[in-house]
Amino acid sequence: MLIGEDLRRGKAIHQALLDHLGDCPPHLMPPPDEATVRPTTIGDYYATWIKRQVPPAVRVSAAKRHRWCFESVILPTWGTVALLDVTPARLLDFRARLFERQVRGRPVAVKTVRNIMDWHFRSLYRDARDIDHLVDGDPFSRLPWPRLARKKPDPFAEAERDLILDFYRRKRFHWYFFVYFEFWTGCRPSETSALRMGDVDLVLGTVSITKSRDEQHEAAPKTEGSVREIKLLPNVLEVLRAMPPLLHADEQTYFFRNPDGGPITTAWWPKKSWYPVLRALGIRPRKFYATRHTFISVALSKGSNLKWVAEYCGTSVEMIEKSYGKFIADDGAAPLGARQICEMTSPGARGSGARRA
């Protein structure tokens, strides 16, 4: 059946027999000067390439997106096209067809189309060129793209932050410490969910961030600069020391846990325990990642040193300036360091902690 299907598609009989049986009667083989080698198609190479896209070489989420994007969008058009036939003109035609698509009644965003072509498709082509030496050049580099407006962070106001934390303290106490930590450290949720008991020193008041957790898989943090050790602010240290003690815990036990004692799945958690709280409080919905935006924006507006904020949050000064520039205080004489951040302390945490600072 497989051989018959190949023949109906126009494949030479000798090649169909070789592909499926591994052998072919000599009288069916063409003369040596007429034999041709079928060029490797995008679909052929994808079958090999996707098997290499596995953790820990790539993040689980990245492997999932690669598979979905190719099998849903790219291969239906490019599956039978030879790698050697990927040209700028064909890529432009493909891009035009992608722009004609709609998602939920809206045109596909430029950023989405560029991710499909520049991140997914181009990654496969690059490996075919650099690793397997099947092609030369880079036709993707010839494509012009419009400059995209940078999406600005959307932090919570300080009053909203305090309202959210008060709700968790009164109504969802188990999650209070997790949410408080996010609002007052600026850590990425993936970094916080990966913390173990051995990473948090409540005596010295330090937290060591060396990994992240995504799609139930742990890997290194987002960037090299994300590996860091931070000194907890006094109010955060006070809250964490008040966490209910856990019996039978060791250094590898997750510091923040779900009610069953397992690690928090940040992809699932907001749907069940974050957005319902925002709705109950009448606060405009924002991603849980906005807790990080909130910490950075408030710290900058209070006059915190730009370099300190960048290092504390595991990012670069350049990124802080580009994304959070409007929050940087105008007072160039503001004291450097973290002391003034204690002014950010919520009403419930002001007092002894703030005075000690």
DSSP-assigned letter for residue 72? I
Query: What is this structure's pTM?
Result: 0.70
Question: With DSSP H G I counted as helix, E B as strand and the rest as coil, what are the percentages for the chain, rounded to 5?
Answer: 55, 5, 40
Instruction: Map out the domains of the chain with their CATH numbers.
Output: 1-38 (no CATH), 40-142 (1.10.150), 158-356 (1.10.443.10)
pLDDT of residue 135: 92
pLDDT of residue 33: 58
Residue where the block lists tokens 């036990």: 253
Give the distance from CA 26 to its chain's centroid.
54
pLDDT of residue 35: 46
Convert 250-288 into a string of H (helix), E (strand) and C (coil): CCCCECCECCCCCECCCCCHHHHHCHHHHHHHCCCCCCC
Q: pLDDT (tens digit, 0 to 9) for every residue of the chain, 357 residues total?
A: 989 988 887 788 888 888 888 888 888 887 765 445 678 999 999 999 999 998 878 888 888 899 999 999 999 999 999 999 999 999 999 999 999 988 888 888 899 999 999 999 999 999 999 999 999 999 999 999 988 777 889 999 999 999 999 999 999 999 999 999 999 999 999 999 999 999 999 999 999 999 988 767 777 777 788 899 999 999 999 999 999 988 788 899 999 999 888 888 887 899 999 999 999 999 999 999 999 999 999 999 999 999 999 999 999 999 999 899 888 876 544 444 444 555 555 444 444 433 333
DSSP β-bridge partners for residue 200: 207
What is the distance between the alpha carbons of residues 292 and 351, in angstroms, rounded to a whole number? 24
Convert 306-334 into a string of H (helix), E (strand) and C (coil): HHHHHHHHCCCHHHHHHHHHHHCCCCCCC
What is the distance between the alpha carbons of residues 177 and 51, in angstroms, rounded to a whole number? 40
Q: CA nearest 10: which of 36, 47, 49, 43?
A: 36
Q: Which residues, other chains included, contact 232 with Cβ-Cβ below 8 Å and sequence gap of 6+? A: 185, 205, 206, 207, 240
